[in-house]
Amino acid sequence: MTNTTIERTTPVTDATRRTPTTRERMAAGSRFALPGLLVVFIIVFSILNPTTFATLANARTVLSTQSVLALVAMAALLTLVIGEFDLSLGAQMGLSALLLPGLTANGAVPIPLAIVLSILATTLVGLCNGLLVAKAKVNSFIATIGTAALIGAIVLAYSGGTVIFLGVPPELINISSFAPLGIPAPVIYVAVIAVLVWVFLKRTPFGRYMSAVGGSKDAARLSGINTDIVTIVTFMLAGTLTGIAGVVQAGQLGSGNPAVGPSFLLPAFAAVFLGATAYQVGQFNVWGTITAVVTLATGVAGLNLLGLPNWVEPAFNGVALLVAVSLTRYLRGKPL
């Protein structure tokens, strides 16, 4: 018998013909679990810590310290949508955050031009990643480990391994410190970019092509999509976002620290995967990612204010990610 008949006779699952099971109902409800958790955190910590947690100042601090992570997470989101990993995102952010103060030191390059150059540098890194993955057909996981190492080398060579602070113009911190209507600038950057990324993914043909490439490269190609271009441009856009993240980071530090960057990589991926358990379950999505960043930061801030030891933070992050992803895996009956 050919496969024809075998396939034809395999039982067809059609969820509409029966009432949803408990698991399916839970799966449907689970998309609001993450924002629900955020609300619970805010209420619980506000009750436990009314004088320190439930203040506007605390909210500002939590949000603005997480803005760099949120931007890197959105860069990771873009590459994950097309089914690729970019493990150089942390290093890219570090490169931009070092270049900006480095270039502006002693007035060598005006700040606006230095910002553009820093972002261009990481976009160029993204182009290299994209070419390696799309044209040289190197597995993205491996290719971007390679570029991350090279960026690390460039950062060390450029900085000499020390913090660049001599001659850095003090106006640099204006990038991140000004606060119109009391809203910290980094929060505004994140909000604007999140909306742009959301429009880009959900409202443009290119965003659709990205989902198609991530879903099935073969089907995308056979539907007339230039999968190479989609891959290359996506890596470049991720580079642009990490460049912006680096600029914000430099504005917060006011100097160039060669050690900053790589430590952002894993939390960024954790936020995207955690975010995929919210709103559109099983899909990497912008608002889930942002919610995940804020929820984790709120939890950690609350625990810190309670005076818990510092190992609680990574433990909390790890447990949150594993529980959320495993639970979603179970509820959906298939991996993310």
Partner 1 sequence: MTAVDPRPDALTVEHLSKTFSGVTVLNDVSLTIAPGEVHALLGQNGSGKSTLIKALAGVHRPDAGGSVHVAGRPVPSSYPPSDARKFGLAFVHQDLGLIDDMTVAENLAIGTGFERRGLLINGRAQRMRTQTVLDDFGLAISPGATIRELPVTARTLLAIARAFQPSRGANATPLACLILDEPTSALPDNDAELLFAAIERVTAAGVGVGYVTHRLEEVFRIADRATILRDGNRSGTYTVSDMTPASLFTAIVGPKQTDGAVTAPRGSRTGETTSPIVLAAAGLSGRRIQGADLTVREGEIVGVAGLAGSGRSELARLIFGSQASTGGTRRIGARELTSASAREAMDAGVAMVPEDRRRDGCVLTMSVAENITIAKLATNRTGLLDLRRERRQVADAISSFDIRPADPRRAVATLSGGNQQKVVLAKWLARKPSLIILDEPVQGVDVGAKAEIFALLRSTAEAGTGVLVIDSDFDNLANLCDRVVILRAGRIVDELTGSRLTTEDMSRATFGVDDEADVITTTTSQEPKE
Name which of 65 and 226 has its Cβ closer to partner 1.
226
Least CB distance to partner 1 at residue 230 (A): 12
For the chain, the helix, strand and coil percentages under 3-state DSSP, each to the nearest 5: 75, 0, 25
3-state secondary structure 95-137: HHHHHHHHHHHHHCCCHHHHHHHHHHHHHHHHHHHHHHHHCCC
Distance of CA 301 to the CA centre of its chain: 20
Least CB distance to partner 1 at residue 281 (A): 11
Distances (CA, A) of 133 to 61, 147, 315: 38, 12, 34
Contact of 302 with 41, CB cutoff 8 Å: yes
Name which of 2 and 22 has its Cβ closer to partner 1.
2
Name which of 8 and 137 has its Cβ closer to partner 1.
8
Interacting residues with partner 1 (CB under 8 A): 1-16, 199, 203-205, 208-209, 211-212, 214-216, 218-226, 282-283
Least CB distance to partner 1 at residue 283 (A): 8
Name which of 46 and 211 has its Cβ closer to partner 1.
211
Least CB distance to partner 1 at residue 206 (A): 9
Name which of 4 and 106 has its Cβ closer to partner 1.
4
Contact of 301 with 62, CB cutoff 8 Å: yes
Least CB distance to partner 1 at residue 2 (A): 5
Least CB distance to partner 1 at residue 5 (A): 5
Name which of 4 and 310 has its Cβ closer to partner 1.
4
**Exposed/middle/buried for residue 316 (C-beta within 10 Å: 0-12, 13-18, 19+):** middle
Q: Which of 288, 259, 266 is nearest to 275 (CA)?
A: 288
For tokens 């358990």, what's the residue? 277
Residues ≥6 apart with Cβ < 8 Å to 229: 134
Q: In the numeric block, which tokens belong to residue 88?
A: 């150089």
